[in-house]
Amino acid sequence: MDIQKIGVVGAGQMGNGIAHVFALAGYEVLMTDISQDALDAGRALISRNLDRQVSREKISQEEKDAAMARISSTPKLAELGQTDLVIEAATERETIKTAIFEDLVPHLKPSTILTSNTSSISITRLASRTDRPEKFMGFHFMNPVPVMQLVELIRGIATDKPTFDALHQVVEKLGKTSATAEDFPAFIVNRILMPMINEAIYTLYEGVGSVKSIDTSLKLGANHPMGPLELADFIGLDTCLAIMNVLHDGLADTKYRPCPLLTKYVEAGWLGRKTRRGFYDYTGEVPIPTR
């Protein structure tokens, strides 16, 4: 499969990062979002992130300019129909992802591969809502995409070998490393990471330690680069809750029950860095624990 043109659905945190790495690797990228403002903001962020790479001498100014020239955008989802590979990077809600694929399918070339950047939702179930389950896979990038080395490749039950092989080659061309995961709730990374974060929230909820003491303990006691509550804020507490619910619903095990405090923060709209308040308050110059 000759993959040259990439369609990215969503210009948010994950979508613009995916567009960034593909354009830098030489692919033509067409990015879409329901909002023109989101597309403009996503393109501006890609430019700033590439500038940071130039300043650190990771890439040259010429490479930055060439990458930006390879990125185009459109508010019309149907225009992604002529791309060779589509990567859906919309909100982590199955109804939204399913609606996107159903709207996109009538416009696709027969050879186009469909993928989702979902961090937890069943690939087999998403694929079944399309006309090409054999050409559908999970293509899970880590955040922030330009920095993180890993890409999880997740086969659905119907995914064929040529599709898997093609995506494996794409990951290599991006200069990243792939890990193959079976299609079970939350795959590998989040199957392990999210229960740890959830347990850290229970530790806070039960009064075992404060936000600061929990994060300090894991950073210094387990050599983690970020504490679990700091990391939850970075990921987004709504995303953490959504993944815990997928684990709890999909595996029917009480050990995956979301902590009530996590639910409460999401209900309050305290979603972490993106809302400037979560387990830390980000409105000042230095993050301040909220508990």
CATH number of 230's domain: 1.10.1040.10
Q: Do the beta carbons of residue 145 and residue 14 sit within 8 Å? A: yes
**Sign of the four-CA dihedral 19, 23, 24, 25:** positive
pLDDT of amino acid 92: 87
The mean of the pLDDT values for the chain is 97
From 182, 213, 237, the end of a domain falls on 182
The verdict on 126 and 98 lying in the same domain is yes
Q: What is the pLDDT of residues 42-56, one digit of tens each?
A: 999 999 999 999 999
pLDDT of amino acid 187: 96
The verdict on 79 and 166 lying in the same domain is yes
**Which position has the token pair 């983690």?**
224
Q: Do the beta carbons of residue 35 and residue 75 sit within 8 Å? A: yes
The verdict on 255 and 227 lying in the same domain is yes
Q: What is the pLDDT of residues 247-263, one digit of tens each?
A: 999 999 999 999 999 99
From 149, 182, 215, the end of a domain falls on 182
Structural domain count, the chain: 2
- Indicate which CATH number applies to the domain containing 71: 3.40.50.720
From 163, 182, 201, the end of a domain falls on 182
- Describe the crossing of helices 228-235 and 211-221 by its angle, rounded to 10 degrees: 110
The verdict on 118 and 234 lying in the same domain is no
Q: Do the beta carbons of residue 197 and residue 240 sit within 8 Å? A: yes
The verdict on 65 and 120 lying in the same domain is yes
* 6 confidence band (pLDDT: 50, 70, 90): very high
In the DSSP assignment, the letter for residue 105 is: G
Binding site listing = 10-15, 33, 92, 97, 119, 143, 274
Cα separation, 200 vs 204, whole angstroms: 6
3-state class of 153 per DSSP?
strand
The verdict on 104 and 137 lying in the same domain is yes
The verdict on 215 and 136 lying in the same domain is no
Cα separation, 217 vs 209, whole angstroms: 10
The verdict on 119 and 223 lying in the same domain is no
Q: Do the beta carbons of residue 114 and residue 86 sit within 8 Å? A: yes
Q: What is the pLDDT of residues 220-230, one digit of tens each?
A: 999 999 999 99
Q: Do the beta carbons of residue 132 and residue 86 sit within 8 Å? A: no
Binding site listing for NAD(+) = 10-15, 33, 92, 97, 119, 143, 274
Question: Could you list the residue range(s) of the whole structural domain that residue 106 is in?
Answer: 5-182
**Is the pLDDT at 1 greater than 80, yes or no?**
no
**Is the pLDDT at 80 greater than 90, yes or no?**
yes
pLDDT of amino acid 230: 98
CA 12 to chain centre: 9
Nearest to 193 by CA among 139, 247, 249, 271: 247
**Is the pLDDT at 141 greater than 90, yes or no?**
yes
Q: Do the beta carbons of residue 138 and residue 156 sit within 8 Å? A: yes
Which residues, at least 6 apart from 44, have a Cβ–Cβ distance to it below 8 Å? Answer: none
- Active-site residue set: 119, 140, 152, 190
* 113 confidence band (pLDDT: 50, 70, 90): very high
Average pLDDT rounded to a whole number, residues 105-113: 97
Q: What is the pLDDT of residues 148-165, one digit of tens each?
A: 999 999 999 999 999 999
Give percent of the chain above pLDDT 90. Answer: 98
Q: What is the pLDDT of residues 181-193, one digit of tens each?
A: 999 999 999 999 9
Q: Do the beta carbons of residue 237 and residue 270 sit within 8 Å? A: yes
First to last CA, the chain: 52
The verdict on 220 and 265 lying in the same domain is yes
The verdict on 246 and 196 lying in the same domain is yes
The verdict on 46 and 159 lying in the same domain is yes
* 84 confidence band (pLDDT: 50, 70, 90): very high
- Describe the crossing of helices 237-251 and 228-235 by its angle, rounded to 10 degrees: 100
pLDDT of amino acid 103: 97
Average pLDDT rounded to a whole number, residues 107-130: 96
The verdict on 140 and 206 lying in the same domain is no
